[in-house]
Structure 1
Amino acid sequence: MVFVKGGCFKMGDIFGEGDRHEKPVHEVCVDNFYIGKYEVTQREWVEIMGKNPSNSQYRDDCPVENVSWKDIRKYLVKLKKKTGKKYRLPTEAEWEYAARSGGKKELWAGTSNTVNLRAYAWFRDNSHKQTHPVGMKRPNELGIYDMSGNVQEWVYDAYDANYYQTSPDDNPKGVPYEPNIVRVYRGGSSLSDPWMLRTTNRARNKPYVKGPMLGFRLALSVQ
């Protein structure tokens, strides 16, 4: 886990290249938290759940994928029993703050330079349409790997296209929980173009949906 010192930042479409649901840009503050240095791997999933659901199983240090938001909830319950720690998914605000190296103006996690993107991310142009072992590209300034590309990462929040208009300033967690409400995922994948890899890009699906490019990373509150 990487410690992320909390702070305030301008969340949303800071470069003016995004969709309507990335607007308006608004100030958000997050508390100190920990976030996974890497995406959760297939090995880590099997240690807790016993079976590997991933579509591509050629390396156990590749990120686990083909997991739904609801699958991850079950994983977190078992992980807590084993470790005694209250691991969770990062909120959407925490994810973006961490991806942008502590809220900096970064188009992708670690860089805003198109030429340098290949050094930081697995995506459509360099991945051969498959996931890769975590931590092989450069990390962002906080030392976090693969926040752009490799697999898309589920976050805690329920999705609302207009949420940025009403979001609270402090530690927003999305609209209230409902069992089958659409959930958010972030970061793009090995199949994505650079636009989808942007740190402000928002994607979403039903919480029971699985996919060969849907994974996650852990977060932990500071006690």
Structure 2
Amino acid sequence: DCQEFISKLNRITGKTFRLPTEAEWEYAARGGNKSRGYQYSGSNNTLDVAWFRDNSGSNTHAVGTKQPNELGIYDMSGNVGEWCQDWHGLYNSSSQVNPTGANSGPYRVFRGGGWFYVAWSCRSSFRYIYEPDDRDTTLGLRLVLSE
């Protein structure tokens, strides 16, 4: 469904949107080159930046109602988990620049936790997997505009 939506959006706008790679997602969540090393996207305190199990009321919330991260991006911790383009695979132990995930597999990666998850799942480092055709009210997407 995400890929179908993106294809239609690209046709309508004439632009090239896509899902972020897992590495791109984490770079943005951590604040890019402005990072202050926070555990969550924009803070070490989940209540500042995330809707999660303890404070969400079991619902999503309007984007931008918590503080943004260092890049001015909202809701990368909590609210909904966000699909990434990558297939799930083990991380390579060697240093890499802008790595991509496995070439195939049964699961896709999502990042960021969500309103249903406990606070620690909202960490910028949290990764989880779903089958590509799974649907859940705790999942969403964030797009990248390729130029």
TM-score (norm 2): 0.92
Match of 2:76 in 1: 147
Amino acid at match of 2:100: K
Q: Residue 128 of structure 1: CA displacement?
A: 0.5
Match of 1:198 in 2: 123
Match of 1:85 in 2: 15
Q: How many residues align?
A: 145
Q: Residue 217 of structure 1: CA displacement?
A: 0.5
Amino acid at match of 1:125: D
After superposition, give the CA deviation of every residue in 1:34-82 in whole Å (9 maximum; x if it has no partner): xxxxxxxxxxxxxxxxxxxxxxxxxxxxxxxxxxxxx100001101100
Amino acid at match of 2:135: K
Q: Residue 125 of structure 1: CA displacement?
A: 1.4
Asked if residue 109 in structure 1 is aligned to residue 41 in structure 2, the reply is: yes
Kindly indicate whether the alpha-carbon contact (under 8 Å) linking 1:100 and 1:110 is maintained by their aligned counterparts in 2: yes
Q: Residue 171 of structure 1: CA displacement?
A: 2.1
Q: Residue 156 of structure 1: CA displacement?
A: 0.6
Larger radius of gyration: 1
After superposition, give the CA deviation of every residue in 1:197-217 in whole Å (9 maximum; x if it has no partner): 010011001101111111011
Identity of aligned residues (%): 47
Tell me the secondary structure at the aligned position of residue 109 of structure 1: coil
Q: Residue 134 of structure 1: CA displacement?
A: 1.0
Asked if residue 131 in structure 1 is aligned to residue 56 in structure 2, the reply is: no
CA distance in 1, matches of 2:9, 2:104: 22
Asked if residue 97 in structure 1 is aligned to residue 23 in structure 2, the reply is: no
Q: Residue 177 of structure 1: CA displacement?
A: 3.6
Asked if residue 72 in structure 1 is aligned to residue 7 in structure 2, the reply is: no
Q: Residue 164 of structure 1: CA displacement?
A: 3.1
Match of 2:142 in 1: 217
Structure 1, unmatched stretches of 5+, are 1-70
CA distance in 2, matches of 1:173, 1:73: 18
Tell me the secondary structure at the aligned position of residue 184 of structure 1: strand
Kindly indicate whether the alpha-carbon contact (under 8 Å) linking 1:163 and 1:175 is maintained by their aligned counterparts in 2: no
